[in-house]
Every structure is written in structure tokens, then in C-alpha cells.
Amino acid sequence: MSNGQNNVLVDGLSYYGLSLLSFLLDSHPDLASDSILIRSRADRAAEAYCQAIRNGESRSEADAQAARILYQGLHFSLYNTIVNILWDEFQDLVPEEEARTIARDILPHAAFLKQEYDLNDD
């Protein structure tokens, strides 16, 4: 997986770490370089999976438990919201292929919205 500036981060990541990194690159690019977040969540997800299997849960249930830990609090994406607004409301001004790049530029200026409006997964 080549991801430019995050190549060092990819080395040694587990399945769960790579899954989370891929998700963050797509939905939370501002968090994609947080190696502590990625490694700690990946470790906790792997432990939850193993514990579920040891407890007799199915692989499907173990996967679901691991995913809950891996993606907790990350389902809402301000970045994806900005991308969708650019696609929907500014389609005549912003080419679709440039919306993600522009959204990355806008994101730091819109970060206050997360706190001001309590934007979360609920």
C-alpha cells in the first residue's frame, strides 16, 4: 500500500491497522498520520477478536466486535461531508475529481464545526 507521506507508518501494521489506515485516508485524512491512534486501536481490535473467538463467538461476531472498537467515533466524517457539499452544491464550480483535494484544504478551517455543533456518530 503506497500512501506517500505515511509509508513509514504502514511498516509492520497488522490487518486491523491497515484497515483503519485505509479508512482514515478515505474519511479522516487529518487523522491518517496518527500512528498512536492506529496502532492502539488495531491492537485493541485484534485482542477483542481473539477474546471473542476464545469465548466461543462466531468469526462473524468476532469481526463485528473488532470493527466496533476499530471505528468507534469515526463514522461521521466532516471531510466526507465537505466533499459531498462540494459535489452537490458546487458541481458547476468544482470538478468532481478535485473535490477531495479542495476538501482537504478546507478541513482545517472547518474543524471548529465539530465542537460547535457536536458532530458525531449519533
Where do the CATH 1.10.8.330 domains begin and end in the chain?
4-71
Cβ contacts of 116 within 8 Å, gap of 6 or more: none
Residue 115 has pLDDT above 90, yes or no: no
What 8-state DSSP symbol labels residue 84?
A: H
pTM above 0.85, yes or no: no
Give pLDDT, residue 12: 75
94-99: long-range pairs with CB below 8 Å, 24+: none
Give pLDDT, residue 5: 45
Residue 23 contacts residue 72 (beta carbons within 8 Å): no
pLDDT digits (tens, 9 = 90+) for 80-104: 999 999 999 999 999 989 999 999 9
Distance (Å, whole) CA 9 – CA 33: 7
pLDDT band with cut points at 50, 70 and 90 for residue 119: low
Distance (Å, whole) CA 105 – CA 8: 24
Q: Which CATH architecture has domain 4-71?
A: Orthogonal Bundle (1.10)
